[in-house]
Chains A and B, each alone.
Chain A
């Protein structure tokens, strides 16, 4: 069964703090893709990153970094030196290659509040 779990419902941090958003996934496929999206109040999903199951290299993009660990089925997202503009709901998603549709399976999201 495919599933994405984001156990943190809401996180509040003070500006400039580092924050890590957790994502745990379940899949039986050997080829799959993992994503992080940001959803500001406007509602549009903003793509942040995609990771392939066969590439476990961690990635850094500016203040954002991602830690992909197949051994623990986790794909965590860290924001360094958070800013108020980072306040949003963040979704982790899974797409399986053998599903036939590459449909996205989303977690329930983590609401991040960055306080000035």
Chain B
């Protein structure tokens, strides 16, 4: 089975532009989470979606938004890009996020965004 896939692999944008990153979860996984990893730091939680509903949001400005589609794939959108948005954006999928049951997250290879 294919793992978590993300596209594009690399992306270069200029300040003020908008970007859309895409993620396809592992088949059967209904939950998708997004993380931002700035160079030299650990990944930071941005969003989690489960069955198309937002289930969690990290400490990121409203310029960051996401959505999940009926096939459980997800898009992360970032508007009005800033230089500080340059980072590796990681997507992770899990079977579900039911509180009573732990489900491990599996990470994709990431999209490396450079803002000039």
A interface vs B, CB < 8 Å?
4, 33, 37, 42-45, 47, 50, 52, 91, 93, 95, 97-109
Contact = CB atoms under 8 A, between A and B. Distances in A.
Interface stretch (B11-19, B67-75, B76-84, B100-108): B100-108
B55 A44 contact: no
Interface of B: 33, 35, 40-45, 48, 55-56, 58, 88, 90, 92, 94, 97, 99, 102-110, 112
Nearest to B44: A106
A45 B90 contact: yes
Given A97-B102, A100-B56, A105 B45 contact: yes
Contacts of B92: 104
B39 to A, nearest CB: 11
Nearest to A50: B104
A101 B102 contact: no
A102 B56 CA distance: 9
5 contacts: A43-B109, A44-B109, A97-B99, A100-B56, A104-B45
Nearest to B98: A102
B42 A107 contact: yes
